[in-house]
């Protein structure tokens, strides 16, 4: 009986830790912490994505304060470091650029939700005409597309 209780506690703890791993990035995509009226969200599934070898395209775009940008940037880096599959050299399969000490552009492969697909999180940040605000775009992509093909499809602005 003790073994069964111990096993159940271990399983519950493991599931709870795994659920917390994705929390930061999922909170951003769900609009938690950001007024939903400020977010433009696009979700596309199905046949429209077949030419791009994708099954899901989910993007959010909004203007962020400097504090929001900094918080989201930290959450993005944390998520990538915890969830990026490693390439042959042990480095994450990603492309990232910084400007002025802050993340400007990124495409990073993360652990897929399905064993048959790949998953990528994309990030883009640019200054807006209003001082102290930034235009942020986050995109989650799922499908059989490679990072090389994504680079061709989503050229940097």
- Find out whether 103 and 126 touch, Cβ atoms under 8 Å: no
Q: What tokens does 130 get?
A: 């209003």
Rounded to whole angstroms, the Cα distance separating 32 from 55 reads 25
- Find out whether 66 and 134 touch, Cβ atoms under 8 Å: yes
Domain regions of the chain by residue span: 24-153
Could you tell me which residues are beta bridge partners of residue 120? 109, 141
Could you tell me which residues are beta bridge partners of residue 92? 86
Residue 26's SS3 state is: helix
- The pLDDT, as a whole number, for residue 16 is 38
- Average pLDDT along the chain, 157 residues, taken 10 residues at a time: 48 42 65 80 90 90 92 90 69 82 90 81 87 90 86 65
- The pLDDT, as a whole number, for residue 124 is 93
Domain 24-153 has CATH 3.30.530: yes
- Say which DSSP state 84 is in: P
Could you tell me which residues are beta bridge partners of residue 134? 64, 127
């Amino acid at each position: 009986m003790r073994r069964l209780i111990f096993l159940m506690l271990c399983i519950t703890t493991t599931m709870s830790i795994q659920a917390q791993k994705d929390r930061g990035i999922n909170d951003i995509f769900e609009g938690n912490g950001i007024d939903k009226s400020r977010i433009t969200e696009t979700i596309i599934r199905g046949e429209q994505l077949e030419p791009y070898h994708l099954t899901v395209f989910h993007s959010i775009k909004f203007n962020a304060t400097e504090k929001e940008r900094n918080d989201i940037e930290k959450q993005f880096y944390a998520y990538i470091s915890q969830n990026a599959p490693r390439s042959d050299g042990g480095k994450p399969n990603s492309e990232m650029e910084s400007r002025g000490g802050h993340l400007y552009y990124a495409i990073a492969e993360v652990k897929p939700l399905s064993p048959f697909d790949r998953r990528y999180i994309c990030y883009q940040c640019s200054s807006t005409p209003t001082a102290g605000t930034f235009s942020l775009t986050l995109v989650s992509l799922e499908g059989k597309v490679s990072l090389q093909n994504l680079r061709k499809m989503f050229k940097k602005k």
